[in-house]
Amino acid sequence: MLRRDGAEARDLAHDEFGVLGPLVVRRGGRVVTITAAKHRVVLATLLLCANRSVSAAELIRRVWGGVPPDRAGQTLPVYVMRLRRVLGDPAVIHTTSTGYRIDVPDGALDLDRFGVSADAGRAAVAGGDAAGAVVHYEQALALWRGPVLADVPSESLHETEVPALAERRLRVLSELMDVKLRLDRCDEVIADLRRLTARHPLRERFWSQLMVALYRVDRQADALDAYRQASTALARELGVDPSEALRSVHHAILTGDPALHRPAATEWTPVSQLPAPVGNFVGREEELERVTGLLSGSTATVVVCGSPGVGKTAFAISVGHAVRDRYPDGQLYVNLRGHSTSPPLTTSAVLARFLRAMGVRADRIPVGEDALVRGYRNRLRGRRVLIMLDNAASTDQVLPLLPGEAGCSVLVTSRNELCSGTCQTVVRLDVLRGDEAWRLLARSLGPNVAMSEFEAIGELARLCGYLPLALRIALGNLVGSSHADISSYVDELRGGDRLAALAVDNDDSAAVRRAFDLSYAALSPDAARLFRLAGLVPGPDFSVAGAAALIGGPESTTRRLLGDLAAAHLVQRVGADRFAMHDLLQDYAADRSRAAGDDGTAARRRLFDWYLGTAVAVGDVLYPELRPGPAGTPTLGAARARAWLEAERPSVLAATEYCARFGPRRLAWQLIDAVSGYFGSHGHHVEFLHAVDAALGAARRDREPAAQTAMLVWLAAEHRNLGNLRVAQRYLREAEPTGDTLWLHAGLDGVVNLELGDFAAATTSFTRMLDLGAHARIGGLAGLGAVALMRGDVTRAEESLLDGLERARVAEGVNLEATCASLLARCRLETGAYESAVELLRFALAAWYRTGARHARAEGLAYLATALCLDGAHAEALRTAQRGLALVQELGGSPRIESEVHNALGLVLRHQGEPGRAAAAHRRALELATDCDYRYGVTRTHVLIAKALRDDGLVGDAVRHARIGRDLAFRSGFGTFGRTADDLLSALSPS
């Protein structure tokens, strides 16, 4: 922007430009009328990209559409000249190298003021100032004078830019409604939302807010009617059902969820995954202006490509931070590892990570890639999210990660152009200009050094090929050095392998290698060895302890050596005690390792053995029952064990896949065995299934039947967690268990058959476990107790479970002990010993809390709520059921367990005298149990629905459900439910 003198700046401060309605221009307080329609199009286009260059090609497209006249290129400058004349200041619109730019001071454009006020509202919300947020949001909305650019006749603008601006306004309106709900201004909100839902009947967020507001002022019937109206509109206009979010609000109203009275939570919590801005970023002004301009407007997909080390990631991160305010719904980031020594991330793994980041519950994340893509695109629909895909190798890697509709933008970095089918724009980065490279070095070296060593710094930049990575590596050797050290370093860099330097003077990789060579040569022998071996690590990063295992040294020494490498910019700190390497440095380190004759195989084996050993030790603390032999002495607590698993999860999975491909293959399935208990209860289903598949392939190549069986069992276990009982059953039938895998297979086979209602098969499997070792015997006793309980033989169930409970205490099988206690509590519920049931369930929940068994805790909370309710503690029972529901939904439960929680909630509501809400909770439980083929749950739920309907006076419906429950119970052998249903029918239909 050209500099102005003070008088001009003061005059310009009185200027005003408006696009949020008909086009408005005021200069010095005087209205300026733009009479020519095409002139208004040019001005509007420039204002929408104020203070950024707009290409002539884009202006032509906006003015004349897709088929401009032949002389459009000559006519456009004439329009600009006339605009300058009308505006009264030729300096307002500048000619740039590619087009034109209008300079607008802060606060002069209504669109900018709208964004500032909206951001201030969001900041106030984040700071807890709801009243202040209302003021800011209303100031933002007051700037809208009518339809955007109502008098600007440009089809192109009205097809792309105007809808995007209208979407921003509706989003601010939605945020304002949320804040007013938080302030309990429900009556005011209801009036506003009635108008908004009438104008935007397909916008589910407004319907959701209206339903909550109506419910809070005791208008439950009106809230349910609003849901009916929304459903009708969606079905009529789109042929779809309401989204899960809207259905959840409907269900919460039916069940009287207390969360509806809490401060309103938005449907979407913005996610911000962008890495921190890169320090000392210089240059690239033209490219930055171009890409930020593309991403600041409507939807765009941009590929930033260039040679290794040219600074693509740093550039993309800088762009992301520059435009993040244009993407209020968040920014997603992933390193695809397309050119890394680590295995590239699979599409499924990336999509699962993104869905979790966007708030999708773990159990709602699909497994198949096609379903993941659909879920990802559905989640992004109607949002403004920037998606950054770093280090992509191919078009195939990027295509599934593109959003399905306009609204979101994608920024890709790659060594390749990837323009086939993925992008609208490709931006190629070259090395820095000489002056830019000098500035990058001078900023870090300091002004005194920069001025006294001006020529030496310029020569250093040239010798580094003006490549950013090489320059930063050189700085790692020079920051804090004296002038003489800099000159010596330049002489050394110039003198090293002169013939090679002359032969490849323009080769970026040669410049990088020269810088790497000097940094490497400056390392101590121990640091150099650690650097070389770190290049062999297959995971995305590594810890101090992992690096110590890699070199076979103590952690204290390793931490110091990693500090030396970080200071030299040869590794990056990526967290507390965690480090990562640029892919070029990994390649260089691996080359150096080969040249030095390092035993890379032995180093990797030490690292993998450390992963395995620590994972086994963690398992001994959290999941001792999963090991067939006696567990070792615990060396760490439960909290540290869980923290280690969470931190090392990506690295362990990468090691598993590496071993499956390159060996030692045995370690692949051993690592899976060691971490399976964690993945089974923490929801990383997609990544774990992929790793188990790789380990299964390794076991098959090595013809290891026991390992194949174990991997098939873990696949079955994951699908059982996902509610896919029939898929789990297929994997179990494929397995051929022998030796140590007999108990593992028998246990899961018994559980799956039990949940499918096949008592005979379940009994056979659990009986087989009785002779397969101490922990297996306990599991068998627990399983046989569960079978007896479901059949209604409570006496036999108690005998089996008491035996299992005592054996579990002796064997220190914490999870098995909790399981036996929980099942025994359910027996006590059947016999009316409610106080004993409460005590047993509290014990089980405490154990599961220590081990992190979240699914078991959610189910335990459901039965604790039942016990408390039947014992008369209705208020505590309701809180407990709600805790269970929050846990299973927030942390990722199975549909089977969620159905149990809803049944518990329904039971409590019925005992509190609210049978209608109880029936709604049971219907949700029936839906979940049916979806996952949980026959026991389906049968039980029909009986519970019948009781709720009976209490609500709906005798005919109650009889129908009771008959279904009775028939299912007698057909499947669920004795207790059959007897209960018979008693209920007798009472409902007296002879």
Q: Is 512 helix (H, G, I), strand (E, B) or coil?
A: helix
Question: What does the block give as tokens for 122?
Answer: 């969001």
Cα–chain center distance at 331: 11
Question: What is the pLDDT, as a whole number, of residue 928?
Answer: 85
Backbone dihedral angles phi then psi of residue 6, each to the nearest 5 degrees: -60, -40
Work out whether strand 572-575 and strand 578-580 pair parallel, antiparallel, or are unpaired. antiparallel
Single-letter amino acid code for the residue at 517: D
* Neighbour-count burial of 979, counting CB atoms closer than 10 A to its CB (0-12 exposed, 13-18 middle, 19+ buried): middle
Q: How do residues 700-740 score in pLDDT, each as one tens digit?
A: 999 999 899 999 999 998 888 777 888 899 999 999 888 87
Q: Could you give the angle at the alpha carbon of 743 between the alpha carbons of 740 and 746, nearest 5°?
A: 135
Question: What is the pLDDT, as a whole number, of residue 373?
Answer: 87
Question: What is the pLDDT, as a whole number, of residue 503?
Answer: 30
State how far the alpha carbon of 855 is from the alpha carbons of 560, 808, 813, in Å: 41, 20, 18
Question: What is the pLDDT, as a whole number, of residue 495?
Answer: 59
Question: What is the pLDDT, as a whole number, of residue 79?
Answer: 92
User: What is the Cα–Cα distance from 679 to 460, expressed in whole angstroms?
Assistant: 50
Instruction: CATH 3.40.50.300 in the chain: give the residue spans.
Output: 271-429
Q: DSSP strand E in 253-405: where?
A: 271-272, 301-305, 330-335, 386-392
- The pairs formed by 396-403 with CB atoms below 8 angstroms and a separation of 24 or more are 397/336, 397/338, 397/344, 397/347, 398/422, 400/347, 400/351, 400/369, 400/373, 401/347, 401/350, 401/351, 401/354, 401/376, 402/301, 403/376, 403/377
User: What is the Cα–Cα distance from 6 to 38, expressed in whole angstroms?
Assistant: 33
Backbone dihedral angles phi then psi of residue 155, each to the nearest 5 degrees: -60, -40
Q: Could you give the angle at the alpha carbon of 39 between the alpha carbons of 33 and 43, nearest 5°?
A: 85
Which letter does DSSP use for residue 154 in this model?
-
Q: Are 210 and 197 in contact (CB under 8 A)?
A: yes
For domain 271-429, the question of CATH label 3.40.50.300 is answered with yes
State how far the alpha carbon of 314 is from the alpha carbons of 288, 320, 321, 397, 909, in Å: 11, 10, 11, 21, 56
- The pairs formed by 201-206 with CB atoms below 8 angstroms and a separation of 24 or more are 201/229, 201/230, 201/233, 201/237, 202/233, 202/234, 202/237, 202/238, 203/170, 204/230, 204/234, 204/242, 204/243, 204/245, 204/246, 205/174, 205/267, 206/174, 206/177
Question: What is the pLDDT, as a whole number, of residue 701?
Answer: 95
Instruction: For residue 622, give the nearest of 851, 818, 813, 846 by alpha carbon.
Output: 851
Peptide bond into 366 cis (omega under 30): no
Q: Are 272 and 331 in contact (CB under 8 A)?
A: yes
Single-letter amino acid code for the residue at 872: G
**What CATH number matches the domain at 10-183, 3.40.50.2300, 1.10.260.40, 1.10.10.10, 3.40.1590.10?**
1.10.10.10
pLDDT beneath 50, residues of the chain: 1-13, 264-266, 497-508, 631, 991
Question: What is the pLDDT, as a whole number, of residue 13?
Answer: 45
Instruction: For residue 604, give the nearest of 550, 658, 657 by alpha carbon.
Output: 550
Question: What is the pLDDT, as a whole number, of residue 132?
Answer: 85
Q: Could you give the angle at the alpha carbon of 272 between the alpha carbons of 108 and 306, nearest 5°?
A: 85
Transcribe 227-296 into DSSP letters.
HHHHHHHHHHHHS-PPPHHHHHHHHHHHHT-GGGGSPPPPS---EE-PPPPPTT----HHHHHHHHHHHH
Q: DSSP strand E in 356-417: where?
A: 386-392, 409-414
Cβ partners under 8 Å of residue 125, min gap 6: 133, 175, 179
Question: What is the pLDDT, as a whole number, of residue 502?
Answer: 27
Instruction: CATH 1.10.10.10 in the chain: give the residue spans.
Output: 10-183
Transcribe 958-969 into DSSP letters.
HHHHHHHHHHHH
- Taking each continuous run of H as one helix and of E as one strand, the counts in the chain are 46, 15
Backbone dihedral angles phi then psi of residue 337, each to the nearest 5 degrees: 55, 40
* Neighbour-count burial of 200, counting CB atoms closer than 10 A to its CB (0-12 exposed, 13-18 middle, 19+ buried): middle
Q: Are 729 and 756 in contact (CB under 8 A)?
A: yes
Question: What does the block give as tokens for 119?
Answer: 């951001």
Question: What is the pLDDT, as a whole number, of residue 893?
Answer: 52
